[in-house]
Each structure stands twice: as structure tokens, then as C-alpha cells.
Amino acid sequence: MIITTTKGDMDESLLEKKEGSVDNENEYTTWDEYWLDGELVHRSVHVTLKKSPFSDLFAASLG
Amino acid sequence: MANTQSMCTSFLGELLSATHNFSSANPAHTASTADTFKAALYVTTATINAATTAYSATNEVSGTGYTAGGITVTNATNPSSTNSSSTAGVGYWTPSGNLVYSSVTLATAFDTVLIYNSTQANKAVSVHTFGSQTITAGTFTLTMPSNTTTTALLRLSTT
């Protein structure tokens, strides 16, 4: 697979891949990193938000 | 300084004056097209919260592949509303596509996206926060929640 990097497009086999994830009450996030000779050359992140802002609306009682 | 997830307070007032149009079928507006909404990213040292009234380039992320102002939000689904009882209900809306910033390098840590109305003077809608991130020659994707009464990106409720 070809990876877009800061050095240009490179074959994945030439790179060291690191992956990670965070799962908490606010989000589920995954990330992929590719390193070349100790240098970070690609990092992508995928965030899925679990919480959204929420507003309550009120109608006042009359009388 | 810190960013805080919230519905923008000014947005609530503007709803009552029909400032924002999320729908392609809205008789309150002369045009039968929805407004254009955009999504801008902000660095962790910004102060974006309920008091934010409009998009600003101050403390917005910058870097290769990122255009100031962010990306256009895909909006192919009109807002919906559902009664949950005889006295309560929910109005809700979610972008119809994920927010995808492709082929970018964003070296300064960011943790916030501001949704705003670029048709209506860039007025702010909502603030969404997440863990601090950087992107290197990659893609940043914000997956939208399911468009339901309990999970939609924007929800206005009576209880």
C-alpha cells in the first residue's frame, strides 16, 4: 500500500507503523502513524464524537 | 484558555429570528435552499465556547492543505422533529456527511471544531471538542453521529 508522507508517496513496507485509540465518554478516536528512521512522516486521525451540545427550550405558563 | 463544547448562545436567539436555515424547504426564507454551513478547526489555546458568536480566524489551525474557514458541511438532510410526549419533543439535525480534512499537515495541536453559518455573516452555531490532535501529511476525519433524537449533532428539546 502506498502511504502519503512528508517525503512523498512511499510504500508501507519501508515505514514503521504505529496505531492507537482513545475511547472515553466523549469520543472514540483512532490514529495511524508512519515513521521513517525515527521521523514522523504521516499521521491521520479519525474521531467519532459521542456527546453533542444539547439545549432545552421552555414555554412559559400564562396566567 | 480552553475550548468548551457547547451550543452557541447567540445561535439560540437567532433561531427565534429565523436567521439560520438548515432546510431546503423553508417558507420563512425567500430562497428554497439551505444556508451553507462550514466547519473550522481551532488550536488548543483558543477560547471557543458558548460565548462565541461568529467564526474568526484567530487561533484557527493553519498548515499545508488547510484553507482558512475550514470545509463546507454536507447538508442533504433537512432538520427533523419528533414528539416524545404530549408536552415534550426534540428538534434535531446532523450533517449528512462526515467532516473530512484531507491531505493536511496541522502541526499545532487542535481540539475543537466550530460549526458556523457562512451564508449568514459566519454566525456561530455550535462548538465540539475532542482530544488534542496533530496531523502529518494525513487526513483528519470527524465522523458524524446518527441523526436521531438522542444522538444528532444538534438537538433542541422540550422536557
pLDDT by residue for chain B (159 residues), tens only, comes to 699 998 898 898 888 778 888 888 765 666 678 899 999 999 999 999 999 999 999 999 999 999 999 999 999 999 999 998 888 899 999 999 999 999 999 999 999 999 999 999 999 999 999 999 999 999 999 999 999 998 899 999 887
Using alpha carbons, select from B22, B31, B3 the residue that is nearest to residue B123: B22
Instruction: List residues in chain A touching B: CB distance below 8 A.
Output: 4-6, 22, 26-27, 29, 31-33, 40-59
Is the CB of A54 less than 8 angstroms away from the CB of B143?
A: no
Looking at residue B31, its pLDDT comes to 66
For residues A28 and A21, the answer to whether their CB atoms sit within 8 Å is yes
The predicted pLDDT at position A1 comes to: 92
The partner residue sitting opposite A55, judged by closest CB among B105, B127, B156, is B156
H-only helix segments in chain B: 9-16
Give DSSP secondary structure letters for chain A: -EEEETTEEEEGGGSEEEEEEEE-SSEEEEEEEEEETTEEEEEEEEEEE----EEE-------
Distance CA A53, CA B152 (A): 9
B157 contacts on A by Cβ (under 8 Å): 54-57
Stretches where chain A sits below pLDDT 70 are none
Interchain CB contact of B137 with A (< 8 Å): yes
